[in-house]
Structure 1
Amino acid sequence: MQTSRQPTLRSSRVRRWLGHLFREWTIESRRPIAPAFAKPQPATWSDAQVTLAWLGHATVLINFFGIKILTDPVLFPRVGIRLPGFTIGPKRLTAPALEFHELPNVDLVLLSHAHFDHLDLRTLRCFDESTRVITARATRDLLKGTRFSHITELDWGQSKSLSTAAGEIEITAFSVKHWGARTQRDTYRGYNGYLIERSDHRIIFAGDTAMTENFAALRRHGPIDIAIMSIGAYNPWIHSHCSPEQAIEMANAAGARFIMPVHHQTFRLSFEPLREPIERFEAALSKTPERIALREIGETFVLP
């Protein structure tokens, strides 16, 4: 009896959660999108430094000593299923800090997994063939409608070295605790975190992950300068999204010097109040606030 009831109970909870989110999305569809807190100025960034700006959700623009990287680019007002003339899915609460035409020439796009709020085809179709892409296992087919000509899939533990006009960079995919399906039938798709390495400097882009002990293994690569960690969408999705405190714990396990909290204040994907993730994150680091790379969409951080 118990085994037959459990799937029904889970399905009932999921329906209630989705119903709540649909009501929230309906209400928010009538609200204007708030402007980003700040506007990055990438044209002024030095190629002799490591500079990062949070554009919203999991989209981070990185100048890694002259190599321009963009993580999980999502720059349109909605994410979700695209139909002629409109998109079915959540509307942004906060505008992206930069529009596509304001970006510098991007050398590399990093895609962590195939979920609509991370792999946004409308944004990806804006890039030309010169931009290279590293994406998760079994996700290349989703990019057929783009102009990318250099696409590399990485599975956990695999690495890719890239040569650019600004020099060499190495990307290593590592295991996170999430899931990669874009629909109900493609559960075979991969999902990655990435370690980005150049000139003895290292950046973690964790993508989406629940609490996992896998980050400790990244220490073997050497000191980590900064970890880009998602801190939102944990209520009730704690089994696929970490809490702010867990994000810090994983970054600490990797030995990260600084932590950049992302994946909050952009879309309504869960139940927690809009400001709760960053408030909990700040409280958890109240004794070492200097480790917080930034707090608001549009802010810029230069690695000391």
Structure 2
Amino acid sequence: MWQRKLAVLVVAGGVLWLFTPRYYQGPVNDHFDGTRFFNPGKPMDKGLLTVLKWRLTSKREPWPPWRELPCTDHPPRRVEGNALRVSFVGQVTTLTQTQGLNILTDPIWSERASPLPWIGPKRVHPPGIRFEDLPPIDLVLISHNHYDHLDLATIERLWHRDNPRILTPLGNDTLIHSRVPQARIETRDWGGQVVVNAQLTVRFEPMHHWSARTPLDRNRALWAAFVLETSGGRIYFVGDSGYGNGDYFRQAREKYGGFRLAILPIGDYDPRWFMAYNHMNPEETVQAWHILGRPFMLPTHYQTFQLADTGYAQPLIDLRAAMARAQAGEDRIRPLKAGEHWWVDGEDGGNAVMSGVGRKTE
């Protein structure tokens, strides 16, 4: 009898192995064991059973039903030189304009952050920029493969319209090419870089997170933060990250010295016993901002998709309390509503090819 059970397990394991996606194959290093990526010294201790426990005990705080935005952003076609304009589209999708380049971070224009169009977390408001109002997109940065960050439908729309360059950590190109075979994708490991042009170099740095699209592909693709080096200063973009004792933020400060702008997540952090590994709460984000040298900061990852137990309004309430404790005003940390934009450093847009104005939602 036991021989039969063993045979069944062996066959089942073989079938599972056959159907387990392999997005990347490369040499073993301090964060890749030859099969899966990991955070060095901080192994993830929450598996499927822990996810089920959270789902069964979840006490979700209220979120509103669908609501229209009072206005959406109508960005300029280009922003030249060192002027820096950033627009908050929603979740961690931002449009960053500087050096004559239009850069999208983790773009998602889909209605749901899900593999299926009829189920899964749904937007509570439209994107802060209508897709047809986007200027020509030159560069797309994708931090990792979770559905609210890597949205294949949006990538396909952008490819058909603008054919942008896509920069993403190792393994995510396999996912994107499964939907858009012709997409122009450049992947790098932590510590890698891409020279976009004479005005911009993008560097790949660690962030404390994980990846998965299905139960079978956990940590098969890498996650990363980005540092955008320009003559006007460095921009630090983190899509998702646990605080992880602040180690990666200290490393970034030591390596680069300082930043002009940090784009950091603040939301979807409850319950802490489950979410702390994945997502910073606002208090931790402000601590990270302090470690980074107190640059200008744009908070993200709130009031778009309900992905945790955290209430709709709570991230901004907690952020303002953390800002007060850190004696940080909105001249340094600027929470935006989706559809709003910010001329960083107080730039008035004088170097823009076309001035940007808000547009009422029709």
Counterpart position of 1:89: 120
1:199 aligns with 2:231: yes
TM (norm. structure 1) is 0.86
Q: How far apart are residue 13 of structure 1 and its match? A: 5.3
Separation (CA, whole Å) in 2 of partners of 1:155 and 1:253: 24
User: Which deviates further from its counterpart, 273-282 or 290-299?
Assistant: 290-299
Aligned residues: 286
Relative to total residues, which structure has the larger strand share, 1 or 2?
A: 1
Asked if 1:233 is matched to 2:268, the reply is yes
Secondary structure of the structure 1 residue equivalent to 2:52: helix
C-alpha contact 2:74 2:133 (8 A) present in aligned 1 = no
Matched with 1:150 is 184
Q: CA deviation at 1:11?
A: 5.8
For the 8 Å contact 2:268–2:302, the answer to whether it is kept is yes
Report the residue type matching 1:214 in the other structure: Y
1:80-123, Cα deviation, whole Å (9 max, x unpaired):
113xxx34311111221112211110110000000011001111
More off after superposition, 284-293 vs 97-106 = 284-293
Identity of aligned residues (%): 29
Match of 2:341 among 284, 300, 304: 300
Equivalent AA in structure 1 for residue 113 of structure 2: V
Distance 1:183 1:242 in 2: 23
Q: Contact 2:176–2:183 at 8 Å: present in 1 too?
A: no
Report what 1:211 is aligned to.
243
Specify the alignment match of 1:172 in structure 2. 203
Q: Distance in 2 between matches of 1:56 and 1:158?
A: 28
Whole-angstrom distance in 1 between the partners of 2:77 and 2:136: 14
RMSD: 2.4
Q: Which stretches in structure 1 are left out of the alignment for 5+ residues?
A: 1-8
Match of 1:189 among 221, 224, 232: 221
1:103 maps to which residue?
Answer: 134
Aligned mates of 1:117, 1:207 — CA distance in 2 = 10
The gaps in structure 2 that reach 5 residues or longer are 1-45, 346-362
Runs of 4+ with deviation above 4 angstroms: 9-13
What TM-score, normalized by structure 2, do the two folds share? Answer: 0.73
Shift of 1:12: 5.9
1:137-173 deviation digits (Å, cap 9, x = unpaired): 111111122265321112111111112xxx5311111
**Aligned: 1:119 with 2:150:** yes
Contact 1:175 1:192 in 2 (8 A): yes
Q: Which digits, 9 at most, give the CA deviation of each residue in 1:4-29, with x for residues without a partner?
A: xxxxx9866532533577x97xx98x
Give the greater-gyration-radius structure (CA): 2
